[in-house]
Amino acid sequence: MTAVLVTGALGQIGTELTRALRGRHGAGHVLATGYREAPPESSPLSDGLYERLDVTDHRAVNATFVEHDVDVVYHLAARLSVLSEADPQEAWAVNMGGLHNVLEAARTHGVGQVFWPSSIAAFGPETPSERTPQDTLMRPTTIYGVAKVAGELLCDYYCRHYGLDVRGVRYPGVISGATRPTGGTTDYAVEIFYAAIESGCYTCFVRADTVLPMIYMPDCIKAALDLMAADRPQLRHHNSFNVSAMSFSAGALAEEIAKHVPGFVCDFAPDHRQAIADSWPHSLDDSAARAEWGWKPRFGLPEMTTDMLATLRARQQAGRL
């Protein structure tokens, strides 16, 4: 019997969240699903159940819930911001259509809990950009952000109208050393580490003074698991908590890496992704998450940088970078 379903399990967050969930519940109780036929043989997910699942196909989503007796869902399948801008129609189908299919299946099959991540992309250029409040003006300008705001409202509706226990956080850019992100604006904050290790130089696609909120993967996973474990009556917001861990400019990140990688050189050649980055906040006020379910991150810029470089160097030495 499977109790926990993860969609988008082969993605940056999905890979590590699935591993954490399997550590807690046992590999046989966590079904990893993704758009690909199967995880690569080297994937850390090859130790447990995996099925192909297209979240835009509502019949397939329903069949998965029935067949595996799903009780808890972590719905991560999505196109990130840059890929979404390249094909807004497909992005809407996957990001909104997929969420709607999962919420409907959860409602009709009496699922206990759903986790769905929103993002800093839910905010827009008119949002206060320093210590962005939990409840504030949104008005994003990307299709990815529009789907995040609509998704937050849809989750609120399912929570209020059907009593479905849907929870989620607004993730900042996520930095991690196991699976590379694809198609996101904050990908530079991950690519820069690989480049530092592999070649000692990087050309960053946003300006040096671009400041964005970021979170390291262990804190990203902790946020999801802590929120899902919180007592429901304590939650006032449910599905769109700001979570903050660190905020830094691309230039400051390059300088921090250079402390560990002598001679590291970073150039800056902003492209079309700069406009997306400029529409997002610099830092978040996460006092609601701290007050309602005890959110507290462990990693700041120096700790994250040290850990990322150690992780990637270990992978490089093992020939698995």
Residues of this chain that bind ligand AKB (CB under 6 A): 80-81, 119-121, 171, 173-174, 184-186
Catalytic annotation present for 144: yes
Nearest CB to ligand AKB, comparing residues 80 and 301: 80
Q: What's the burial of 270, exposed, middle or buried (CB within 10 Å: 0-12/13-18/19+)?
A: middle
Nearest CB to ligand AKB, comparing residues 7 and 185: 185
- Nearest alpha-carbon partner for 247 in 267, 288, 204, 277: 277
DSSP for 10-53 reads TSHHHHHHHHHHHHHH-GGGEEEEESSSS--TT-TTTTS-EEE-
Nearest CB to ligand AKB, comparing residues 277 and 301: 277
- Is the distance from CB of 201 to CB of 185 less than 8 angstroms? no
- Is the distance from CB of 290 to CB of 234 less than 8 angstroms? no
Nearest CB to ligand AKB, comparing residues 152 and 165: 152
Q: How far apart are CA 216 and CA 293, in angstroms?
A: 19
Closest CB 60 distance from ligand AKB, rounded Å: 25
Q: What is the DSSP letter of 284?
A: B
Closest CB 7 distance from ligand AKB, rounded Å: 16
Q: How far apart are CA 148 and CA 120, in angstroms?
A: 9
φ/ψ of residue 163, rounded to 5: 75, 15
Nearest CB to ligand AKB, comparing residues 43 and 119: 119
List helix spans (H) across the chain.
Answer: 12-25, 58-68, 81-86, 88-92, 98-108, 143-162, 188-198, 217-229, 250-260, 273-278, 287-293, 301-317
- Is the distance from CB of 207 to CB of 246 less than 8 angstroms? no
Closest CB 186 distance from ligand AKB, rounded Å: 4
State the catalytic residue, choosing from 50, 74, 144, 171.
144
Closest CB 8 distance from ligand AKB, rounded Å: 13
- Greatest alpha-carbon pair distance for the chain in Å reads 58
User: DSSP E strands: which ranges in 107-181?
Assistant: 113-115, 118-119, 166-167, 169-171, 173-175
Nearest CB to ligand AKB, comparing residues 121 and 192: 121
Nearest CB to ligand AKB, comparing residues 146 and 174: 174
Measured N-to-C along each axis, helices 58-68 and 98-108 cross at an angle, to the nearest 10 degrees, of 40
Closest CB 202 distance from ligand AKB, rounded Å: 17
Closest CB 124 distance from ligand AKB, rounded Å: 13
Closest CB 174 distance from ligand AKB, rounded Å: 6
Annotated catalytic sites, by residue? 144
